[in-house]
Structure formats: C-alpha cells, structure tokens
C-alpha cells in the first residue's frame, strides 16, 4: 500500500509530502516513511502501535487492540458481516 501511495504521489507530481495514517493506516504511513524518507516532509501516525517499535509487545494482550488480531484470521471478518 505504501508503494501505491508513492505511485500516486509520483503521478500527480507532488514533492516533499506530509502523510497521515490512522489505526491500521498508521502501519502504511510508517512503511511509506521508511521506504520513501527522501520525499517525506513529515508524518502523523495516530492510534496504533507499530510492529517492531517499543511498546508493541506490551500492547498485544490489551483489550483495546482486540480487532487487530481478529482481522488477521483468514476469512473470519467476511463471515461476520
């Protein structure tokens, strides 16, 4: 998804962009910043722990993030619609 955003930015000829990601979109924003730091002017990542960053392990068992693991069970989300 970070690559898709990069292609869109390139297509519309933007330079030095700000990127914002909320919840799971924060993971995409983080990936974008890591891959395309040279074109990133700034980033805002809201309401999400980032895998591999301090605090990730501690938050995994917390009830507030139950939906992250729920949505990773193949096919489960589609069955409960």
pTM: 0.74
Q: 69-78, pLDDT tens digit by residue?
A: 777 788 887 8
- pLDDT attached to residue 42: 97
Between CA 56 and CA 59 the distance in angstroms is: 5
Q: 26-74, pLDDT tens digit by residue?
A: 999 999 999 999 999 999 999 888 888 887 777 777 887 777 777 778 8
Helix (H) or strand (E) holding 28: helix 25-35
Helix (H) or strand (E) holding 18: strand 17-22
Confidence at 79, pLDDT banded by 50, 70, 90 = confident
């Amino acid at each position: 998804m970070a690559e898709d955003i990069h292609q869109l930015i390139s297509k519309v000829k933007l330079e030095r962009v700000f990127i914002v990601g909320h919840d799971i979109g924060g993971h995409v924003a983080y990936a974008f910043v890591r891959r395309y730091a040279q074109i990133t002017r700034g980033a805002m990542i809201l309401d999400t722990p980032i895998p591999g960053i301090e605090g990730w392990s501690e938050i995994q068992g917390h009830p507030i993030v139950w939906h992250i693991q729920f949505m990773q069970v193949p096919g489960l989300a589609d069955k409960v619609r």
